[in-house]
Structure 1
């Protein structure tokens, strides 16, 4: 009987020794409590801070181990638990990724994303890294209310109000605050003139007429493309993509996309960066010479078989520029 009691006592003491309790308080940088902050040890053990930011968690695990403290809008903090009955005073700092400052048209001043009075769609460098499109510009179609009009590999336009073509008048695109409207065209050239995704920090889209405060030519929307700051994103990085484009007329052709970026902070007041990118690809070939007026073919009364539509005076080809062409004006080969 004494042996059985001794074994029970040993097991009970072992269970008591394995119990580790961690307590603490979670507050922000202004020492205001953060109620509801998540305090997690692993997938099976966790708790939340109360209204005053206090928390207490007990786990059947011996130190050392780590405890993760997180809350929406704040950076995650990891605590190292080296002994039992430790008390932590945790200070969470506001997350720069979730609450980044942007310029919005409602006031044209810097405001936090969650405080913006107008709709803002944001696409940061983490979303770009996880996107599945051929480039970040085509991946913008995943944003709410966005369609991409494609005029080729290197000419894509953002459509935010349901009516637009690749000649996207009324939509403004700013690169680091500068309008990249193509001279002489009167509209931005989409991904033809912009930043390579290797140097993109975030893309912010404001659809609709709220963007009109940026000017009369911003009635459909405005796109902010912000590049990576060399103070915050230093080092050397490179990316390479290779693929194949295929079309019945053009055939199969190689596609190359290469970019190189180098940035360095020389002092607290001076930093520099350089970005070089190169893209090459064979676009689709415009070889549809059917007549828009008669897509099924044209014929001459009394003459059997269809005739070459390019010999008719009112010929208007699908892939021929111009309106009405005179007889014999075209000498094309299929």
Structure 2
């Protein structure tokens, strides 16, 4: 009986003791409130411990009255009493003693320990986290040397973005494609972790699986794999040696939305990503509709340059005729969609599918849509389908999934073949390509793609190119495709931009009203000493190309407008930006008073969408400086901002505040809020 009583008392004691044990959870942050992964948490006086995961979260079992210690390199070790609360979350405090300079004595000599730099501290944190990852992998065998290059990893759902951790640094999902294309020779080892285990070790960020990589250098730094065509800014040209200025129009707007994305993400902007003409042409201006047989109106304006008192600005604006939706001819459209592994990010294929649904919802019964996709190979997923069968088209879009390499050339071949097979001689025949441009199978270089598209455009099928995503965005390739394919290029980073391209500018995106539009400007040498075209560096033409109908140029869509700016130095002015050349002996320019009131003559050549011979228009601008219109104030602001972020030599020591002041004066009615957005964007850039 006595023994039984002792057993009962022991059990009661055990039950009481166990009832005091509880699970403590929480989130540990750094001094900025950001999750701090790899914090060591130990029940004081025991060997019981854990670490915070990728999201700074942890769980540990402890008893009431226990002390939990929290330690992390460079931070003050914290102790917390386990009480009735089950959650202990807090921000750790930076160890000031660790950061301060101290003097130590060794062998009788005073030495100073240098203050660690932020970069050193960051590297130490990174190394600590990397070490914690190694411990959590428990020394298991490392597999999968090299990367899978876009193929689905066994045990990981290829439809969802996985977490990459390279040398202890978690990689943002949008840059997964950069890591997937990493050179295998850089990699020391890589371990694949399936979703359940990955989430257990690294938190919810790894819920779709994780790949932990250690490089041979041990200090991998993520670099954007985006590519842009090199731009050499236009300089001032003297009238004596360059009397004509000739270029192709450009209605592309990709540069502005791409720059907007970078500023909103707090990124540095590559200089070659800045195309001032595309920034200016992103916005609509109050140009009148054409009222004669030509498909566009011509508008010019002359003002004092806001950023330079020694020069003047000249604006040349074209306004394309706007056709109502029901007035557009039937469309034979082929959606050519990149579904390769590099398109897996949320801002690529998922955004693309949502964007295309906006277009599908505007199609009519007489319109036909086909869908071609490409990854490792190309294939047709939707045969020509009437535009009134929207559910069928959208269902085909919804089924698209990403994975594999990128055979862009094959996709283009197949899309054009399909468009040509169902060619509508009285309609609008167009391929709409949507991709990040990261072609890596078959024809892939910019030159190879140019050759391919130049062959295909002879079919009479036009091309629209839509860029998506970032990290490996190939702007140079997509610009080449659009330029050579008789089409336009837009960059879609949000559904707002998709609504602009497929909603507000639907007709211009789909229907070309004039092709091979060229501009040639001749300034009056009695009035102008020198000029420079602002932007259009990649659109310059030889003077003789203007009358050569075999030379390709830009296209103008329904409702599209085009604006070009010249900065000019008057004949009687001086400027540090232009050094005069000696007088010519054998080709002296004879000035005449017959055109004393003219500043310049601008000639335009264009072809009808189905034509082969160009039509010429001439517009003469009288020499008259005006007060800047509201549109001109805004155009000047956009041009100056573009010059500033390009680090142009012609900004004349202006500041961002000058841009904002100009933009405010040029804000106008701003019905859609795009100009207000520009002002906010400039202010954000000023704070970077």
TM over 0.5: no
Greater relative contact order (Cα < 8 A, sep 6+): 2
The TM-score with structure 1 as length reference comes to 0.29
The TM-score with structure 2 as length reference comes to 0.17
Structure with higher helix content:
2
